[in-house]
C-alpha cells in the first residue's frame, strides 16, 4: 500500500541552447515544475511536461497552483494500492492533465522503487501475452526555419546522425517548398509534418495538395477543438494519415475522434492525457480501433523522458517517436545517468527501479526559482 508523507515542489527554469520555432512562437527557455514525492522514506520524481500557454492552457504556474492546492492534499490524505488509482483520485479536479501527470509519474517512480522493479517491467505485467521491446526508435523534429537555405543548412547538420524519421514543423506558407527541400536532401527517410494547429478550415485544399508527397502523416493542422475539419481532411486524403496531438486531451476525446474517423494516427503524450495510466488506456483503445500511435515529446529533461522511453515500448507504438536528448536542448540534464541512445537512433527504456534515474539534485537546485514542501 502506498502512503505519502510529503511532497516537495521545485519551480525550475531551463534556458535552451538554441531557440526552437513552432507556430506557437520561439521557445528560448522552458519553465517547469518537478515533484518529489516521499512514501515510507522512498522518494519518487515527476516532471511537468507542459509548455503552455500555446500548446495547452496549462503553464508551470497553473500546475504549481493545482498541485499545491488540490492534487497534493488529495494524495497525502489517502493510500493507494497502485499508481493506476491516481486518475480516480484526481477526478474531482477538472482538466489540468499535465499537472495530474506530474504527480502520477512520481507515484509510479515510488511504486517501482519500493519493490525494486523498473517501469518497463511493471508495464510488461500488463501485457502478459507479449514481450515488450526494450528500446524504441526516435526521430528528429525540425522547427520552423527562416528560409529554405536555413532549412538546408539544418538538414546538412543532421547528416552524421542515423534518422529513423524526420518531422517538419509547418504552417501556411511554410509547407510545400520545405517538404520538397527535405525530400531532396533525404529521399529515403520517412517524413512527417506537424502543423501545431496553425491551419484554418479554409486551408484544406492546401493540405490536400500535400497528399502526393509521400508523407508518413500530417499532424494536427487544425485547432484542438476542430475534429470536424480534421475529419473532412482525412476523408479527402488518399494516401496520408491525419495524426491528432493537441486535440486528444483524454481517452474519451480520442474515442470520439476515432469513431468520427477524424484521424488514422494518434500522438500519445502521457502529460496531455493526464498521466501514464490514461496513456496506457489510450494506447489500448487505439489497439481496439486498429489505429497505430507514436510517442510524442514535450522538451522534457531526463526525468520526463525516462518515463516516455518505457511507455514507447508498448506494442502499438508503430512510428519513431520524439525524444531529443536533453543535453541537446539545454546543454545539461537534471539526472545523473545519461539516457541510453543508440547510434542507430533508438532510445532504451531505463532498467533501474522505478523510472530508472538518479536525479542531479545539485543541478536541480541551481535551476530552481522557488521550492515548497507540503507535509501530510
Query: Which residues form the interface with Mg ion (CB under 5 A)?
Result: 194, 219, 245
Based on CB atoms, which residue is closest to Mg ion, 47 or 245?
A: 245
**C-alpha cell recorded at residue 200:** 484554418
Q: Which of 113, 269, 305, 362 is catalytic?
A: 269
d(CA 173, CA 117): 49
For the bound state, the minimum distance from the C-beta of residue 143 to Mg ion, rounded and expressed in Å, comes to 12
Task: Annotate 164-211 with DSSP letters as a single string.
Answer: S-EEEE-BTTBSHHHHHHHHHH-TTS-EEEE-TT---GGGHHHHHGGG
Q: Quote the least distance from Cβ 69 to Mg ion, whole Å.
A: 30
Q: Which is nearer to Mg ion, 194 or 226 (CB)?
A: 194
CA distances from 235 to 80, 206, 229, 239, 264 (A): 45, 15, 10, 10, 11
Nearest residue (CB) to Mg ion, 24 versus 127: 24
Q: What is the distance between the alpha carbons of residues 305 and 320, in angstroms, rounded to a whole number?
A: 15
Q: Do residues 166 and 140 lie in contact, with contact meaning Cβ atoms separated by under 8 Å?
A: yes
Distance of closest approach, residue 243 Cβ to Mg ion, in angstroms: 8
- Closest distance of CB 85 from Mg ion, Å: 29
Question: Which DSSP letter does residue 92 get?
Answer: T
- 113, 135, 167, 169: the catalytic one is 169
Counts of helices then strands in the chain (DSSP H, E): 14, 15
Cα dihedral 266, 95, 38, 371, rounded to 10, equals 110
Nearer to Mg ion, 56 or 124 (CB): 56
Q: Is 100 a residue of the active site?
A: no
The least distance separating Mg ion from the CB of residue 62, rounded to whole angstroms, comes to: 21
CB 192 within 8 A of CB 216: yes
* CB-nearest residue to Mg ion: 245
Radius of gyration of the chain (CA): 20
Q: Of the two residues 72 and 198, which places its CB atom closer to Mg ion in the complex?
A: 198
Nearer to Mg ion, 36 or 230 (CB): 230
Do the beta carbons of residue 293 and residue 266 sit within 8 Å? yes
Whole-number minimum distance, CB 328 to Mg ion, in Å? 18
Instruction: Respond yes or no: is residue 169 known to be catalytic.
Output: yes
The residues, ordered by sequence, that sit 6+ positions from 258 with a Cβ below 8 Å of its Cβ are 285, 286, 289, 291
Positions annotated as catalytic residues are 169, 269
Amino acid at each position: 500500500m502506498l502512503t505519502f508523507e510529503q511532497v516537495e515542489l521545485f519551480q525550475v527554469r531551463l534556458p535552451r541552447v538554441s531557440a526552437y520555432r513552432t507556430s506557437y512562437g520561439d521557445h528560448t527557455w522552458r519553465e517547469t515544475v518537478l515533484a518529489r514525492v516521499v512514501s515510507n522514506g522512498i522518494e519518487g520524481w515527476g516532471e511537468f511536461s507542459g509548455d503552455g500557454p500555446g500548446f495547452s492552457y496549462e503553464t508551470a504556474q497553473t500546475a504549481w497552483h493545482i498541485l499545491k492546492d488540490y492534487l497534493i492534499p488529495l494524495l497525502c490524505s489517502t493510500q493507494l494500492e497502485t499508481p493506476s488509482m491516481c486518475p480516480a483520485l484526481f477526478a474531482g479536479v477538472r482538466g489540468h492533465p499535465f499537472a495530474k501527470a506530474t504527480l502520477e509519474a512520481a507515484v509510479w517512480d515510488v511504486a517501482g522503487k519500493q519493490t525494486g522493479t523498473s517501469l518497463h517491467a511493471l508495464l510488461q505485467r500488463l501485457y502478459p501475452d507479449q514481450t515488450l521491446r526494450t528500446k524504441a526508435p526516435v526521430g528528429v523534429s525540425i522547427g520552423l526555419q527562416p528560409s529554405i537555405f536555413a532549412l538546408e543548412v539544418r538538414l546538412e547538420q543532421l547528416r552524421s546522425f542515423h534518422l529513423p524519421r524526420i518531422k517538419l514543423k509547418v504552417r501556411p506558407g511554410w509547407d510545400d517548398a520545405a517538404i520538397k527541400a527535405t525530400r531532396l536532401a533525404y529521399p529515403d527517410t520517412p517524413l512527417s509534418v506537424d502543423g501545431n494547429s496553425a491551419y484554418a478550415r479554409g486551408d484544406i485544399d492546401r493540405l490536400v495538395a500535400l497528399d502526393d508527397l509521400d508523407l508518413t502523416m500530417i499532424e494536427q493542422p487544425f485547432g484542438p477543438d476542430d475534429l470536424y475539419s480534421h475529419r473532412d481532411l482525412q476523408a479527402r486524403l488518399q494516401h496520408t494519415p491525419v495524426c491528432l496531438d493537441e486535440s486528444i486531451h483524454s481517452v474519451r476525446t480520442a474515442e470520439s475522434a476515432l469513431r468520427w474517423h477524424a484521424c488514422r494516427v494518434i500522438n500519445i503524450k502521457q502529460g496531455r492525457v493526464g498521466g501514464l495510466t490514461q496513456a496506457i488506456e489510450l494506447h489500448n483503445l487505439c489497439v481496439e480501433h486498429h489505429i497505430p500511435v507514436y510517442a510524442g515529446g514535450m522538451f522534457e529533461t531526463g526525468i520526463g523522458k525516462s518515463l516516455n522511453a518505457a511507455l514507447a515500448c508498448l506494442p502499438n507504438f508503430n512510428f519513431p517517436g520524439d525524444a531529443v536528448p536533453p543535453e541537446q536542448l539545454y546543454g545539461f540534464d537534471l539526472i545523473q545517468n545519461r539516457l541510453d541512445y543508440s547510434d542507430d537512433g533508438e532510445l532504451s527504456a531505463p532498467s533501474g527501479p522505478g523510472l530508472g534515474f538518479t536525479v542531479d539534485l545539485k543541478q536541480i537546485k541551481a535551476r530552481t526559482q522557488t521550492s515548497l514542501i507540503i507535509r501530510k
